[in-house]
Structure 1
Amino acid sequence: MKTNPLISFSFILLILIIGGCSIVFKNHSSTKLSPDKSKITEGYVKRVIDGDTILVAFKNNREERVRMILIDTPETKHPHLGVEPFGPEASKYTKEKLYGKEVQLETDVQQRDKYGRLLAYIWVNGELYNEELINNGLARVAVFPPNTKYVRIFRSLQAIARKKKIGIWSIKDYVNDRGYNTDISFK
């Protein structure tokens, strides 16, 4: 008797879901992400401004401040907020991972923010760096429509980091929907 492979696969998937198994392993998304080639610009990271903002130099000698889409790291240079917990760690991590590296910038629907910065997902060596910051508890998901291409993936990864109490999630009540709560004790 022949069995339909689609029915077999569906049955196995149903068993996994009912059993509570996760399709996300080691804090990485289950599918290999790849950028939309039609929305890619290449350059190299000339300077790291903070955890979620970099200065990129392009081949035509143009430079742009680039703000990473869908993430928000704690502040390190804000005139009113000062240095927030895990801000220096996020900046240091971004500097170690991106400074001097060739990157691909993938834009979404809106290409610039109100400050004139280029908005982009950062790809380095075929990996989505924005995702890496979330995986390591150094950024929260910050949604500013219409730029939402990877929001579902990022939110699922954030839930894992939160559950594991990694980085920013290790401080009770520190992260909220609007950013970071600096009114609580961090000791």
Structure 2
Amino acid sequence: MHTGKLNLADFILNKKTSALLKKLSRFFARITVCSVVLGLCLSLILISQQILADEEQALPKNWKKISLKKLKLRVIDGDTFDADFNRNGRFSNPQERVRLLYVDTPELKKSHKGKDPKLGLPAKGFLRTVLSKTNAVLWVDPKNKTGNYGRLLAVLEVKGLNINLALIKRGHSYFNTRYAWPDGFKTYALAEAYAFEKHLGIWSYRKSRKRYLLRLREEGKTVYSTRNPYFVAKIQNAEVIDLSKYNGRFLRVQGKIKKIQQLRKGAQLMFLKHKRMKKGLPVISFENQRKWLGLQKIRKGDLLQIEGFATLYKKKQWQIKLHRAVLLN
């Protein structure tokens, strides 16, 4: 029976117990902190591995492989470098100049796109670093070797990593389809959306985000992200859509081809079935686009997903300016 009195033995015992409990408490606290740190490190490792796994998926297939091993290289900017392919110690432009596909990093010199060394120099530094690796290789499409300026168009691979994709995912570039379309379009679009949503590189500042979104808009494309004010996330039905409600915004519309009209200089108007528009919903496209997208053989009745900006042509006709199309049937 407890009397309410505390004798000396009880006091000593309680004191020792209290000290022991304090030591145990500190011990378990350290274990908890270590567990949290270890868990965080493991999660970062897993995230990094996941990013690398995503980037490895978009390497080209059946393209010509060119090794850069022991070649003299010179980096021009974040998307362009010279390679001494003939091993004479000199660089021949444009024969030995390489332009990376699907990217367009900020310019370091004056151009029609402006000059942006603040964001361009990190891109150049990143490319210089990866090119210093000993096992860098280029992938070149035999059907699309050179661009408008005679430069070699390529995808750069280092240790199984798609560097073109890495430039986009780290925010050094937007996703550029000016020279060609990748088979892994979705992977590149997701990489761009990732950088945009994480505010990386060109997407890190409010002014630069606005500037590059406007540049993309001028080129008829945009970032596929719900945080992008130009992008309409919900896929629309071509038969009932009112384009006037989406002026200047990027849409994805599904519908069947009602009519195809050929225009001058390779332009083409494709009309999708629409309940209120007699001719149909007009979609304007160009020859190179249709070639890259594999749309040369589309015909009346085909079901498509059209992606592009809603625009008012000559203040009279609402239409979609095609960026991408997917044949659904």
Corresponding residue for residue 39 of structure 1: 64
2:76 to 31, 38, 49: 49
Q: What stretches of structure 1 of length at least 5 have no aligned partner? A: 1-23, 182-187
Q: Which moved more, 1:145-154 or 1:115-124?
A: 145-154
Structure 1 position 27, deviation (Å): 4.0
Corresponding residue for residue 126 of structure 2: 93
Structure 1 position 134, deviation (Å): 1.2
**Secondary structure class of the residue paired with 1:95:** helix
Pairwise CA RMSD: 2.9
Corresponding residue for residue 97 of structure 2: 65
Structure 1 position 38, deviation (Å): 4.3
Deviation digits for residues 7-51 of structure 1 (CA, Å, limit 9, x no counterpart): xxxxxxxxxxxxxxxxx9754453743443542111246110000
Structure 1 position 72, deviation (Å): 0.8
Summarize the alignment of residues 122-161 of structure 1 with structure 2, pairs less than 5 Å apart.
122-144=156-178, 146-161=180-195
**Secondary structure class of the residue paired with 2:84:** strand
Structure 1 position 149, deviation (Å): 2.9
Corresponding residue for residue 174 of structure 1: 211
Equivalent residues of 2:78, 2:124 under 8 A apart: yes
Cα distance in 2 for residues equivalent to 1:180 and 1:86: 20
**One-letter amino acid of the counterpart of residue 161, structure 1:** A
Q: Which moved more, 1:46-55 or 1:34-43?
A: 34-43
**One-letter amino acid of the counterpart of residue 74, structure 1:** P
**One-letter amino acid of the counterpart of residue 30, structure 1:** D
Relative distance call for 1:57 and 1:180 in structure 2 (3 A) is farther
Cα distance in 2 for residues equivalent to 1:111 and 1:92: 26
Cα distance in 1 for residues equivalent to 2:82 and 2:55: 29
Cα distance in 2 for residues equivalent to 1:171 and 1:94: 22
Equivalent residues of 2:77, 2:107 under 8 A apart: yes
Cα distance in 1 for residues equivalent to 2:174 and 2:147: 18
Equivalent residues of 1:50, 1:90 under 8 A apart: yes
Relative distance call for 1:130 and 1:38 in structure 2 (3 A) is closer
Query: Between Structure 1 and Structure 2, which shows a larger proportion of helix residues?
Result: 2
Deviation digits for residues 144-163 of structure 1 (CA, Å, limit 9, x no counterpart): 25442333211111101101
Q: What stretches of structure 2 of length at least 5 have no aligned partner? A: 1-47, 219-329
Cα distance in 1 for residues equivalent to 2:110 and 2:133: 24
Corresponding residue for residue 140 of structure 2: 107
Equivalent residues of 1:28, 1:135 under 8 A apart: no
* Identity fraction in percent: 29
Equivalent residues of 2:101, 2:154 under 8 A apart: yes
